[in-house]
Amino acid sequence: MLVMNQVSKKFGNFTALKDVTLEFDNGIYGLLAPNGAGKTTMIKMLVTLLFPTNGEILYDGTDITTLDEEYRNVLGYLPQEFGYYKNYTPEKYLMYLAALKGMEKNTAKQKITELLKLVGLENVTNKKLKKFSGGMIQRVGIAQAMLNDPKILILDEPTSGLDPKERARFRKLLNVLAQDRIIILSTHIVSDVESIANQIIMIKDKKVLYKDSITNICEILEGKIYETEVEIANAESFRAKYFSIGERQERDQMTFRFITEEKAIDPAWRNVRPSLEDVFLYIYQDDATLAGSTV
Ligand SMILES: Nc1ncnc2c1ncn2[C@@H]1O[C@H](COP(=O)(O)OP(=O)(O)OP(=O)(O)O)[C@@H](O)[C@H]1O
Ligand SMILES: [Mg+2]
C-alpha cells in the first residue's frame, strides 16, 4: 500500500499542494484536475523526482526516501513528456533503457518481446520511432514503464494526443495491467478516466477535494442537473439565470443542460443523471482555463 501523509509542496513561497493525504491500494486511480492544479507535482513526489516540503510518503509503512532503490525497483513511470531517440526502433530503445536499469541482456530481450506484444507493437519492432503515431509512441512509453514489472505504475497524462481508437485501446491495456497493481494516471480530460478508473481524485485549491468512486462523486449533483429546450431568442437570458454546462442547437431551439438548486421546477425541465463531466465543470467553474462543452 502506498500512502501520502499530510504532504505539502512549496516552490519558494508558492504552495503547489497542501496537506494531501491519500491511500492507494491495487486498482486504477484517475488524478483529474485542470491544468496547473498540481498533478505533475504530486506524481513527481510519488516517483521521488521531487520531495515533499512537509509530510511523508510511505510504501508498505516505510518512507520511500528510506527505501530508495528498493522503492524505485517496484516503480514504473511514464513522464508527461518523455524523451526518445527518433532513429531507434522500439526494440533498440527499450534495450537501451533496460541496460540503464541494469537488466541482464537476455532477460531484457525476453521481457521486451513480451511487452511489445502486450502493447500491440509486435509487428513494428524494427520500425523507427519517428514513423510512429502518437498512440504508438505512448504504448512504447507504457512498455518502458513496465520493464521491471512494477507494483506501482504511474502515468502522467498518458492519453493526451491519442485519437479515440487509440484511447479505447489504451483503456483495454490498462485494465489488463491493473490486476494486482497500483495504477495512478493523471489527466485533465474527464472522458479519459471515467471509463477506466476505479477511484477519482480531484484536486482543488491545492488540496484533495474528492477521492471516491465516480458514482459517489456524481451524487453531489443528484437532483440538480436538468435539460430543457429554450428558444434561441431567450438563450442569453437563460444563460444569465442558470449555470449552463452544455448547449446544443437544433433548428430554432437550444437544448440546455444546466445546474440549479431551485425547488420550484419548471414542468418542462427534465431531471437527468449527473455525469462526472457535470461535476468537473461545476467544481472548476471559476477556473479560467476551462473551455465550454456540448451536451
Ligand atoms: N519547479 C517549479 N517551480 C515553481 N513552480 C512550479 C514548479 N513546478 C510546478 N510549479 C507550479 O506549480 C503548479 C502546479 O504545476 P503542475 O505541473 O504540478 O500542474 P499540472 O496539474 O501537472 O498541470 P498540467 O495539466 O498543465 O500538466 C503550477 O502553478 C506550476 O506553475
Ligand atoms: Mg502536468
Residue in 9, 10, 11 to alter for ligand 1 test, most ligand atoms within 8 A of Cβ: 11
Q: Which ligand gives the minimal distance to the CA of 16? A: 1
State how far Cα 41 lies from the chain centre: 13
The pLDDT value recorded for residue 132 is: 93
Task: Sketch the domain layout of the chain as residue ranges.
Answer: 2-218, 223-273
Q: Which ligand gives the minimal distance to the CA of 202? A: 1
Residue pair 171/198 in contact (Cβ under 8 Å)? The answer is no
pLDDT tens, N- to C-terminus, the chain (295 residues) = 999 999 999 999 999 999 999 999 999 999 999 999 999 999 999 999 999 999 999 999 999 999 999 999 999 999 988 888 899 999 999 999 999 988 999 999 999 999 999 888 999 998 999 999 888 898 899 999 999 999 999 999 988 777 888 888 888 888 888 888 999 999 988 988 888 899 999 999 999 999 999 999 999 999 999 999 999 999 999 999 999 999 999 888 999 999 998 887 899 999 999 999 999 999 998 775 544 444 4
Q: How far is the CA of 152 from the centre of ligand 2 (A)?
A: 19
Residue in 41, 185, 193, 205 to alter for ligand 1 test, most ligand atoms within 8 A of Cβ: 41
Q: Which residues contact 40 (CB under 8 A, 6 or more apart)?
A: 80, 156, 186
DSSP code of residue 181: S
Instruction: Please give the grid coordinates belonging to residue 202.
Output: 480531484
Report which protein residue has its CA nearest ligand 1's atom 6: 11
Nearest atom in ligand 1 to the alpha carbon of residue 33 is 21
Residue in 17, 18, 20, 39 to alter for ligand 1 test, most ligand atoms within 8 A of Cβ: 39
Residue pair 18/50 in contact (Cβ under 8 Å)? The answer is no
DSSP string, 76-128: EEE-SS----TTS-HHHHHHHHHHHTT--HHHHHHHHHHHHHHTT-TT-TTS-
What's the residue count for the chain? 295
Residue in 7, 13, 14, 284 to alter for ligand 1 test, most ligand atoms within 8 A of Cβ: 14
Q: How far is the CA of 178 from the centre of ligand 2 (A)?
A: 22
Residue pair 51/204 in contact (Cβ under 8 Å)? The answer is no
Instruction: Please give the grid coordinates belonging to residue 293.
Output: 462543452
The pLDDT value recorded for residue 1 is: 94
- pTM, 2 dp: 0.90
Q: How far is the CA of 54 from the centre of ligand 2 (A)?
A: 21
Binding-site residues, ligand 1, Cβ < 6 A: 11, 14, 16, 33, 35-41, 80, 188
Report which protein residue has its CA nearest ligand 1's atom 23: 36
Q: Among 15, 18, 16, which residue's Cα sits nearest to residue 209?
A: 18
Q: How far is the CA of 235 from the centre of ligand 1 (A)?
A: 37
Q: How far is the CA of 188 from the centre of ligand 1 (A)?
A: 13
Q: How far is the CA of 82 from the centre of ligand 1 (A)?
A: 17
The pLDDT value recorded for residue 245 is: 93
Query: Fold for domain 2-218?
Result: Rossmann fold (3.40.50)
The pLDDT value recorded for residue 288 is: 57
SS3 state of residue 138: helix
Phi, psi of 218, deg, nearest 5: -65, -25
User: What are the strands of the beta sheet with 54-59, ordered from one edge?
Assistant: 14-24, 2-11, 54-59, 62-63
